[in-house]
Structure 1
């Protein structure tokens, strides 16, 4: 997508205000190019922050003009090309005019159409992993091996590059730093009981969760009817080969008003998910785990056999794994599934590009009871498989990295041995999905 056209993905009033300000910034500099004040945009400025930096495509347009990010502000260097600045300003005006003339839609030229087609093909192009070979006769253990194989996808540099363009990293860092300073002040006053080891990374995790939940991804129980936009209800799974081109699961939802069927593909392909930005927990956790890896954090894709998926992120400051559920916008409340959702957990396995771990014990307050539900294989066979898979994946890592991972694993195992009790946060019910959908799954207390 053209950088300037990204702005048009915002609501109409947001788009129009952002373009007005961008044009004004460029014109002011062109009228008085030696005025350094005009060349400097403070991130703390409410107008700049709220109407450009927090707008999808806003920062991209400033960077395209020639502005450079300097942590607390953006600046246009004195040697930056004013011709480039003028060119970008004129392009913004051109896009704005077409947007208004076409009621929010810019018509494509034939060249644009070809370009869009090429980009569409690039979008649906899957990232190829090495072939997977069956490792175990036990079906469950083989599923674990396959998921561990697939987890390598989150380390793909092309996917991370694309994700990096979507994440408003600078703004998240500003927000996280402000919140960290507030927390530190509260700690000094004695108004907070939070751990003193909380770091900027921990605050950034919270900011990413909040942005992902409220600004980026959308939850879908049933899609609106493609025919009349009315509510739909799940009918059946499709076997139409045309619909199954890019996924092996397509739900069909029947309209409650006109009876038409609307397909809802359940994509696993991250290129597609970064474009569609919708789904349920599987899509959410898959994409969020990629974004966490893109931020440079050690992250794991966590799969609960009772049908839920989330992410774990390793906190450098706290030296432990933090449970992160993007669907719920919650962090570090691992017992909420058992205590708040009524789940009877059995197997919870965490996967990353270099690690695999049985983390079930983090998500239950009754280890003995959970053991009675673990019947898919013996505990010995599961432990042996995890050791084999982990050892094989890590064999080409540096010795220093191997030692670090072993030390971290031992610390985690010690943590998992301790049976914890739920707190008030853990006892809250599920928020994602409609009430009817949650009740049907038994994940909501009345």
Structure 2
């Protein structure tokens, strides 16, 4: 039995709760001063004051980390990424800097289809090697659980290839990957009629995907010029029949009604939400759907940020995620994410931490396993090179992570 003891933490930020948290509860971090916790066989078995825990055990039986003067938090959960892809799109970033719009970039041959071509050509081994390096970087920022989407295949062969890569890496890498099928990410060049592509996904792709790989969610890019609300509903309900929980790219570019659809079908999360209506936000709050906000994408695209402050004030449980992808957001930086959320989306640092831990876990339906430091949950945590969690925002854009523990094992030291 592996045993790990963390003791003498200046503050143990537990983020206690089964999630998701909404409204004022997002400010409640449940902090224990001079805190300690025990992890045995990867599971947290005790949390409390150092003297209470240490007095009842033989420390020689444990690997011990003295966290004096440090802040200890749950491992971060990045609940929206596109981490498996081929090629890069640096030229598109330069076009954006020059003032070209998303539509203009697509007309130049950029956009999602560019990554689709590269990913279709890439070998499974090359995709795996690149994704592993990206996960190493994410882990260094304190991310211990990540959601990964397919969506750069738009055909059975490549969508399956992306998901197989995630399944393989999940068995080998410290970071846990929750897989999402995003076959409805764009409309491939070989289809002129969107309805034909929707039929292809539902009839020919999704049943095979569910049979061949371990996948948790179905997602759709519900947006003007991509998939309509009705088409998204059809795909997501078909996914639910196959046992796939629903996620949704919603109301990023235009107010299409994606937030309302997410609430209607009981989606676990709706993501982006830059243009979400007040009614859509209200309905999501009532349904318990988590709003996943992606401020680095808005920053990269020079768009207005989602109304994070308004959403929290209106009882919508909010999560934060990077949206790491090769086009609109080539960044896995948790420090940048926190800086943008606090400085430009008006979240408190406490709300941002909740959004990256217990609410991030809720956005992938794993808040019963990860996202907080509680007895019975997995031993995933971050130890900061700082005396307070507030340094995550205060030390702007700098990685404050000293150590990362995953399933009770030190994986970054």
The normalised TM-score by structure 2 is: 0.26
- Taking CA–CA contacts closer than 8 Å with sequence separation of 6 or more, which of the two structures ends up with the larger relative contact order? 2
More strand by share: 2
Which of these two proteins has the greater Rg computed from alpha carbons?
1
The normalised TM-score by structure 1 is: 0.24
More helix by share: 1
